[in-house]
Amino acid sequence: MEFRLKPGLLLGAASAATQIEGGELGHNWNDWYARGNIKDRSNPARSTDHYNLWKEDADLMASMGLQIYRFGIEWARICPTEDMVDESAIAHYREEMEYLQKKGIKLLLTIHHFTNPMWFEKKGGFTKVENIRHFLDLVKLVVESFGDMISEYITINEPNVYATSSFFFGEWPPGEKSFARAMKVMSVMTACHIEAYKLIHKMRKEMGYDDTKVSFAHHMRVFDPENHKNLKHRITASMLDRFFQDAITEAMYLGKFKWPIKNYLHVKPGEYCDFIALNYYTRTTVYRFGDGVKKDAPKNDLGWEVYPQGIIRCAEKLYNVLKRPIYITENGTCDNKDIFRCRYIYDHLKTLCSSELPIERYYHWCFCDNFEWLEGESARFGLVYVDYETQARTIKRSGEFFSEIIRAGGVTKEIYDEYVKNQQYHY
């Protein structure tokens, strides 16, 4: 045996509504596309048409043996205007959830994954403290609608990536470039998460449930100085660490606020996550204030370093702040030809399984190839290939490999030789 899965570790996949569902829904990514901002000009309204093909996707997931599935709801779909709830969309999601659960797949629901309805965006979205109530209305609606079926929630996906991509780098809607604004958005989202945490627990308790689990999905990366002997590199790395991830970790987990995160709602210190939800992809090599990549390191198709040890370094860092079970809520890679994804999965899972940390879930990003934000349809992360013209799905070699790992409870020598041995990253 090359390695065995940790006892009790469950394996599955993650997705996000905007990236798979398709549809012209009046949200900020439909708008960003219409304004010509997607690199390959592909339209999120097409995507994988999962909103219509959900049953086929669920059957495929079950046939591959997936045990868990992280998925999202589309805010603009269930609330097309500020005052309207689309009951047919709620019924649709319920049908899908019920079907997946009948297939034995355990669900983790993400409430917000980067996308806002335009009515919320036009009010200033997460840049305004007074808009927190709109997010909480959404949370309330989600728990009222699905609380009897779903016990596990992610309030917000990657607030740091959302805030920096949309308000610092200006690459995502609304395309602003202001450090102060990005920090304000992270602070507002911290308040949203903590209030949502309290609300979900309160509501489900009133509904008679005591198995509620809530967290936010934290995008963490390793920031290593390019040259450890260079003071500027070291200081810049620790600044990036703090601004991008450390300050928000303590605020979101423990209600402990330190600059630059502000405590707008005067929340008290406490524990505001029931599990650690880590999204991990890569490491940043720091020589300036920005995203650098180590020379001669293994890389994926987008030039991101493949650095498996980072998944444990990040998990450990979070565990030191909050001693809770760890869910890897995203991990995966852009490999358009599916020529090194098996090795990527192997290296990351093996690293996880050799750790003493309480790692309970691994959600591969992602199930099907999908709409990869700015990269559109040009960056493929899936275990399943999507032909966007015909919407045909085909399980990739890496998808077969993933199923084999679940079936075998680890990677045997035969599985390794068959899927991993001859695979190499880009250099």
184-205: burial string, b at 16+ Cβ within 10 Å, e else: bbbbbbbbbbbbbbbbbbebbe
Choice between 14 and 200, CB closer to ligand BGC = 14
Cis omega (within 30 of 0) for bond into 366:
yes
Q: Residue 265 and residue 195: Cα distance in Å, rounded?
A: 9
Q: Please write down the HEC assignment for all residues of 342-390.
A: HHHHHHHHHHHHCCCCCEEEEEEECCECCCEHHHECCCCCCCEEEECCC
Q: Determine phi and psi for 233, rounding to 5 degrees.
A: -60, -45
Residues near ligand BGC (CB under 6 A) are 16, 157-158, 161, 219, 279, 330, 365, 372, 381
Dihedral sign for Cα 82, 373, 218, 171, please.
negative
**Element containing residue 184 per DSSP (H, E):** helix 179-206
Residue 198 vs 313, nearer CB to ligand BGC: 313
Query: Is the CB of 54 or the CB of 365 nearer to ligand BGC?
Result: 365
Nearer to ligand BGC, 219 or 393 (CB): 219
Q: Which is nearer to ligand BGC, 16 or 411 (CB)?
A: 16
Rank residues 255 and 298 by Cβ distance to ligand BGC and give the closer one.
298
- Work out how close the CB of 329 gets to ligand BGC at its nearest, in angstroms, rounded to a whole number: 9
Q: Are 396 and 364 in contact (CB under 8 A)?
A: no
Q: How far is the CB of 161 from ligand BGC (least distance, A)?
A: 5
In the complex, least distance from residue 351 CB atom to ligand BGC, rounded to whole angstroms:
19
With CA atoms as reference, report the closest residue to 302 among 329, 288, 287, 281: 281
In the complex, what is the shortest distance from the CB of residue 302 to ligand BGC, in angstroms, rounded to a whole number? 8
Amino acid in the structure at residue 225: P
Burial of 368 (0-12, 13-18, 19+ CB in 10 A): buried
Q: Which is nearer to ligand BGC, 69 or 365 (CB)?
A: 365
Phi, psi of 56 (to 5 degrees): -60, -40
163 or 415: whose CB is closer to ligand BGC?
163
* CA separation, residue 136 to residues 113, 155, 195, 199, 385 (Å): 15, 10, 7, 8, 36
